[in-house]
């Protein structure tokens, strides 16, 4: 992670990791959790989910 990353980004990454661990058994849930946090400004942050624009969770 870049040192200039804001605390909000760090919180988002923490929440993302928690959601991914919780939903690890369910690919659909994992993708939904990922898109809810990645807003498209950071494409490729979690690997190619920047093209999906769904808001859930």
Report how many domains make up the chain. 1
Contact 46, 34 (CB under 8 A): yes
- Indicate if the pLDDT at residue 12 is higher than 70: yes
Contact 19, 33 (CB under 8 A): yes
Contact 50, 43 (CB under 8 A): yes
- pTM for the predicted model, two decimal places: 0.27
pLDDT tens for 23-43 read 555 666 656 656 655 554 444
Nearest to 36 by CA among 45, 2, 5: 45
Residue 9 structural domain: 1-57
Residue indicated by tokens 């946090």: 37
């Amino acid at each position: 992670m870049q040192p200039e990353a804001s605390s909000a980004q760090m919180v988002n990454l923490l929440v993302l990791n928690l959601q991914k661990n919780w939903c690890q058994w369910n690919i659909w849930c994992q993708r939904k959790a990922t898109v809810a946090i990645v807003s498209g400004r950071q494409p490729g942050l979690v690997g190619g989910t920047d093209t999906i624009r769904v808001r859930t969770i």
